[in-house]
Amino acid sequence: MLFFLACFTNTHPSIPSQMENNIYQIQQHVQRIEDLSNQLLVAQQKQDPTSIQSIVQKLDNENILLQKQRNIFQTSLKVSEKTH
């Protein structure tokens, strides 16, 4: 997903700042999900159920936020297409 966003911004240098901000927000959510996934692997190796549960909840929340940001981005793409 990060690769797609990087390609999109490189091939569309004139993207509006709002879309650029949406892309940045998506990248931040993806990075946090990757970090939490790594933390989850460590917690699983340590067999720490409390940490596992906490990390899974954080992952769920981050996934929800990513979905919302993705929907905002898709809406902004549709609006952008209509104005061009």
Query: What tens digit of pLDDT does each residue of 28-76 get?
Result: 999 999 999 999 999 999 999 999 999 999 999 999 999 999 998 888 8
Write the CB contacts of 77 (distance below 8 Å, at least 6 apart in sequence). Answer: 19
DSSP states along 57-69: HHHHHHHHHHHHH
Within a domain: residue 41? yes
Separate counts of helices (H) and strands (E) for the chain: 3, 0
Say what the pLDDT of residue 5 is.
57
- The domain of 48 spans 2-6+19-78
* Counted domains in the chain: 1
- Single-letter amino acid, residue 56: V
Question: What tokens were used for 49?
Answer: 């159920």
Within a domain: residue 84? no
Within a domain: residue 61? yes
